[in-house]
Chains A and B, each alone.
Chain A
Amino acid sequence: MQRIRWLVVFFIALQPATNLNAQSNRAELPGIDTPLYKKQGGNLSVGLRNTISTFSHGNPKEAVTGAGGHLRLQLVNRVNTEWYADILPTNIRNKANRMDYHIGWSVMYYLIDPRGFNRKFTPYVVAGHCFDYTRIKINGENGESRKRLSTAVQAGIGCHYNITPKFDISLATQYMLHLGKELHAHEEEDGSIAIEEHKNAGWEGHLLISISVNYKFLQLWNPEKRSRKMFS
């Protein structure tokens, strides 16, 4: 009888401990209390990029390298936004130069679920809009120069290579179409360069290839909390 009494006391004492253990195990199991991958909305990342611009006015020889940076704010798992600025200097036949300054934004849609960026590759389509300031100047101290402020739209495809879930290298190719007046320089028969401006010139654009390094440094809001609140 005495033994049974001790056994009962022992099991009663053990019960809260086993219960606690069971709880902690349950919390650790993925897919029961926590989702397999964290929701990605609210991610803010900073990126620095090198940009190559080709096929300016259909001329594949006028390839330009420029530099810039961007901030990315992810809205939901599959939708990200990019806010960028670029500078692209172009050498026009060693006789004139063109500077393009872009400030704009794009929306990126991930074609596959990024799974918390644990996949190595995340392909996406991208489209957006930018303001651009262009200045063409004939080389030399007192060279003629003309400038233009316009807007442009761009669309293309890209892919993140996720080295870690927080750090990626991205390669994107976009075609940028300038809207408004066209400003360009062309070589005359005598070899001199003339700057021309055309109204309602139609399609004028270039292909932009950018390679960037990006780091997600902040999560501005927690989508897990939001969805929990909504369903509670």
Chain B
Amino acid sequence: MEPREKKQKNVLLNEEEIFTLSLEGIILFTFLFLLVLDASSQKIWETRKGCIRSQGNIAGGYLFAQKTPSAYLNGDMDLFLQDRVAFTGSAFYSFALNRSNQTGIKANHAVFGGFNYHFLKPSRWDPYIGLSPGLGVVQIAYKDGDEIRGTPNTPVPLVSAAIGCNYYIGSIFHFFVKFQGVAGQVFSTLPAPSRLDELKFMVGLGWNLRLWKPKTKDKCEDKG
């Protein structure tokens, strides 16, 4: 009997505490859900300000200097500060498309941050352009005599501009297409620098959510 009691004492939370915690969780979730429900009454194609648009996807690319395709696990988001202006951030995790005994780019991960300008007033169609400098983390395999050697993971500043379009199909989902031009070069321990000029492209289904309800005053300000 004694060891069983000991075992019970060792448990982090007893049943009552778990019940209280889950009740608090349910209440909190309900309030947050009501908040989102209330906010989402304004559709993204009516007012973009206060919305977040995001996607996670597989992205493709083409490296001009290496003349090879590239592939990434990619995620990006637009936080609409005004109807036509959004803060944007994106991340790319690269897959190595060449074999381990081949030279070339082994890793080309990157994060970007900037602003997008959306041309049209809120509607279902939403084309945009953006400027978003970034930072890449690059690893390259190169030939040193007969040996194949690899550079350490090297941070690289990147220059980038994007063009794309969203089509909002519902209050939560949208289709998107985006092209992003990237330019940069890596030195690291390479005998000669390697250019990282690339065109990335992504297409698919994303989601959007309203985070806050803009005031009437803000909407007027946007139009000006």
Contacts and interface: CB of A to CB of B under 8 A. Distances in A.
Interface residues of B, number: 34
A85 to B, nearest CB: 11
Interface of A: 48-50, 65-69, 87-89, 91, 94-95, 97, 99, 118, 137, 139-141, 163-167, 169, 211-215, 217
B114 A89 contact: no
B185 A89 contact: yes
A67 B157 contact: yes
14 contacts: A50-B131, A69-B133, A87-B157, A88-B157, A89-B156, A99-B187, A139-B187, A163-B117, A164-B224, A165-B224, A166-B82, A167-B81, A169-B131, A213-B115
A13 to B, nearest CB: 31
B12 interface: no
Interface in B128-151: 130-135, 144, 149
Interface string B176-206: 0000000111010111110000000000000
B181 to A, nearest CB: 11
A164 B117 CA distance: 10
A105 to B, nearest CB: 19
- The secondary-structure label for the interface of chain B is strand
Interface of B: 81-82, 84-85, 87, 113-115, 117, 130-135, 144, 149, 156-160, 183-185, 187, 189-193, 221-222, 224
Nearest to B84: A164
A95 to B, nearest CB: 8
> Which 6 A-B pairs have CB atoms at the shortest separation, nearest pair first?
A67-B133, A97-B187, A67-B157, A213-B115, A141-B189, A87-B157
Given A48-B131, A49-B133, A50-B159, A65 B81 contact: no
Nearest to B193: A91
Contacts of A213: 114-115, 117, 130-131
Contacts of A68: 133, 157
Most A CB contacts (10 A, CB to CB) among B130, B185, B221 go to: B185
